[in-house]
Amino acid sequence: MTGLPAYRVWALPGIPEVRTGDDIAKLIASAATADGLPGLADGDVLMVTSKILSKAEGRVVQADDREAAIDAEAVRVVARRGPLRIVENRLGLIMAAAGVDASNTPAGTVLLLPEDPDASARRIRTGLRDTLGVNVGVVVTDTFGRPWRSGLTDVAIGAAGVRVLDDLRGGTDAHGNPLSATVVATADELAAAGDLVKGKAAGLPVAVVRGLSHVVVPDVGAGAGDGAGGADEGARALVRDAADDMFRLGTSEAVREAVTLRRTVREFTDDPVDGGAVRRAVAAAVTAPAPHHTTPWRFVLLESAESRVRLLDAMRDAWIADLRGDGFTEENIARRVRRGDVLRKAPYLVVPCLVMDGSHTYPDARRNASEREMFVVAAGAGVQNFLVALAGERLGSAWVSSTMFCRDVVREVLGLPADWDPMGAVAVGRPAVAPPARVARDAAAFVTVR
């Protein structure tokens, strides 16, 4: 079978129990050169279980309460079910319990992941080069579960000397079809291959792959930076940016984070807004509660620049007339109009409207007023759903009340029925700058218990 693509993988025996301060590179070099073993060669890739690095680096901590250790390592909770938490840890990894492990460590202690797994991998690579004179790649591995898939597998959390991603975009497949989205997670595939021979409980923390030298970057050489001549980004490159992660949120946490993401945005980029995303937000809006099984929401989408300018010009003229009638000076009027320009800065506008279809009419005015209040509350619930859904689409928004002060003008310009009540306008677009940090509010200050 000479000439066929192939590689060999084996577990490296002879690694002793690791203690704080041990030199992992020297332990691996000693084990690899034992009698009867093939040793290490240029182009080999080593898969090193993160646990032995954690022990060597003193990441064993006293923790009678494992949950407290998880709290310290986590930066946000992605999903929770009973005592199990899937979290994002300080390395940006989404994993169970932040990688805090209570196995293979004395009672009353837990293992934390290495402080910097990429740096750990670089130290091992450099140590093996200095000790054995070989150019190898190193992948630091840990065990992950996966969304929508049963079972566990090892993945790369640190790497050195390895092209962790193989970007095939721009090439073609065997049939000549262009590859537009194919980026292979090479380091994760290596980690899984190593796990097949290391096992989870066999006491074999290191595996070697031979025959895939094309994934190893050239030797650093004397005086050169690590990875010189090759793309040595480390495993951090495998962590998807939040902005590109379609599956960033978990279960109930998704609702809370989406609500938190909803911020009033007043500066937008010129990027066009996807009308499909706005329509999906409308679909979320109309799931809001409403009285008498009614549907009191209507959403007018101003997708053309002409419709937006025509409406905003008419509203501005009506507002100026009102301000003059109230006795404001021209200078004061000009200042107020400038402050109201947030709607003009947005590439997309939505005018939510309230309709009273299905409302009840009562003999006394008090009950009729309450009836309208119920519908107004339902309209607000729909708009809130809409704003939160826009945030989930990574769109910024600002709900401005101005259309409520000139409803007749809005109805006339947009050609709306007489019974549609504009409930403000929502500016929609891509945020030009990140919003400032939200001022923390103590929920207890808004709660009364009886």
Give 215-239 as a DSSP string.
GBPPP--TTSPTTTTS----GGGGS
pLDDT tens profile 160-207: 999 999 877 777 777 778 776 678 899 999 999 999 999 776 789 999
Mean pLDDT of the chain: 88
For residues 41 and 56, what is the distance between their CA atoms, to the nearest angstrom?
25
Per the CB < 8 A criterion, the answer to whether 154 and 143 are in contact is: yes
- For the record, the structure tokens of 368 come out as 């009729």
- Tell me which H or E stretch contains 213: none
pLDDT tens profile 284-323: 999 999 999 999 999 999 999 999 999 999 999 998 998 8
For residues 407 and 417, what is the distance between their CA atoms, to the nearest angstrom?
11
Q: Find the mean pLDDT for residues 140-149.
A: 90
Please tell me which residue, 159 or 224, carries the higher pLDDT value.
159
**354, exposed or middle or buried, with CB in 10 Å at 0-12, 13-18, 19+?**
buried
pLDDT tens profile 87-118: 899 999 989 888 898 877 777 888 999 999 99
* Domains present along the chain, CATH in parentheses: 8-244 (3.30.1330.100), 262-446 (3.40.109.10)
- For the record, the structure tokens of 312 come out as 């905003």
pLDDT tens profile 318-344: 989 988 998 989 888 888 877 667 899
| 351: three-class secondary structure by DSSP | strand
For residues 36 and 436, what is the distance between their CA atoms, to the nearest angstrom?
62
Per the CB < 8 A criterion, the answer to whether 154 and 141 are in contact is: yes
CB neighbourhood size of 255 (10 A): 13
Integer-rounded Cα radius of gyration of the chain = 30
pLDDT tens profile 110-125: 899 999 999 999 999 9
- What is residue 392's predicted lDDT score, i.e. its pLDDT? 80
Q: Find the mean pLDDT for residues 399-412.
A: 93
Hunting for tokens 């740096």 — which residue is that? 119
Q: Find the mean pLDDT for residues 4-21.
A: 93
Q: Find the mean pLDDT for residues 346-371.
A: 93
Q: Find the mean pLDDT for residues 258-268.
A: 81
- What is residue 49's predicted lDDT score, i.e. its pLDDT? 96
User: Of the candidates 295, 334, 315, which has an alpha carbon nearest to the alpha carbon of residue 402?
Assistant: 315
- What is residue 126's predicted lDDT score, i.e. its pLDDT? 96
Per the CB < 8 A criterion, the answer to whether 232 and 218 are in contact is: no
Give 223's pLDDT tier (boundaries 50, 70, 90): very low
Per the CB < 8 A criterion, the answer to whether 256 and 392 are in contact is: no
For residues 193 and 7, what is the distance between their CA atoms, to the nearest angstrom?
10
- What is residue 253's predicted lDDT score, i.e. its pLDDT? 60
Measured at the CA of 398, the angle between CA 266 and CA 420, to 5 degrees, comes to 145
What's the predicted TM-score (pTM) here?
Answer: 0.64
Q: Find the mean pLDDT for residues 407-422.
A: 96
Torsion, CA 323, CA 325, CA 327, CA 331, rounded to 10:
40
- What is residue 103's predicted lDDT score, i.e. its pLDDT? 77
* Res. 271: pLDDT tops 90: yes
* Res. 45: pLDDT tops 70: yes
